[in-house]
Amino acid sequence: MMKNLTIALLLIALMSCNAGNDEWIQLFNGSDLSGWIPKITGYPAGENYGNTFRVEDGTLKVSYDQYDELGGRFGHLFYKEPFSHYLLRIEYRFTGEQVNGGPAWAFRNSGVMIHAQSPESMAIDQDFPVSVEVQFLGGDGTNERSTGNVCTPGTHITMGDELISRHCTNSSSATYHGDQWVTAEIEVRGNELIRHIINGDTVISYSKPQLDERDPDAKALIDKGHPVMLEGGYIALQAESHPVEFRKVELKLLKDD
Note the pLDDT tens digit of each residue in 204-219.
999 999 999 999 999 9
Distance CA 215, CA 185 (A): 28
In sequence order, what DSSP letters do the residues of 106-141 get, joined into one string? GTTEEEEEEEEPPGGGS-TT-SS-SSEEEEEE---S
pLDDT recorded at residue 18 = 44
Residues 6+ apart with CB under 8 A from 21: 252
Residue 16 has pLDDT above 60, yes or no: no
Question: In one letter, which amino acid is 198?
Answer: I
pLDDT recorded at residue 190 = 98
Residue 10: band (very low, low, confident or very high) from pLDDT cuts 50, 70, 90 = very low
136 forms beta bridges with: 110
Q: Is 21 helix (H, G, I), strand (E, B) or coil?
A: coil
Residues 6+ apart with CB under 8 A from 104: none
Listing from the earlier edge strand, what are the strands of the sheet with 168-169? 36-40, 75-79, 234-239, 109-116, 132-137, 149-151, 168-169
**Predicted confidence (pLDDT) per residue in 79-88, tens digit:** 999 999 999 9
- For residue 27, CA distances in Å to 33, 91, 252 come to 9, 13, 10
Distance CA 86, CA 115 (A): 11
Task: Give the mean model confidence (pLDDT) for residues 111-130.
Answer: 98
Task: Give the mean model confidence (pLDDT) for residues 41-60.
Answer: 98
Distance CA 77, CA 255 (A): 26
pLDDT recorded at residue 8 = 53
Distance CA 5, CA 131 (A): 14
pTM: 0.91
pLDDT recorded at residue 20 = 46
Task: Give the mean model confidence (pLDDT) for residues 121-145.
Answer: 98
Which of 5-9, 120-124, 179-183, 240-244 shows the lowest mean pLDDT across its residues?
A: 5-9
Name the fold adopted by 2-253.
Answer: Jelly Rolls (2.60.120)
**Predicted confidence (pLDDT) per residue in 246-256, tens digit:** 999 999 999 88
Residue 12 has pLDDT above 60, yes or no: no
Residue 201 has pLDDT above 60, yes or no: yes
pLDDT recorded at residue 178 = 96
Which of 19-28, 79-88, 104-113 shows the lowest mean pLDDT across its residues?
A: 19-28
CA 124 to chain centre: 19
Task: Give the mean model confidence (pLDDT) for residues 150-179.
Answer: 97
Domain edges within the chain: 2-253
Distance CA 227, CA 13 (A): 17
pLDDT recorded at residue 256 = 80
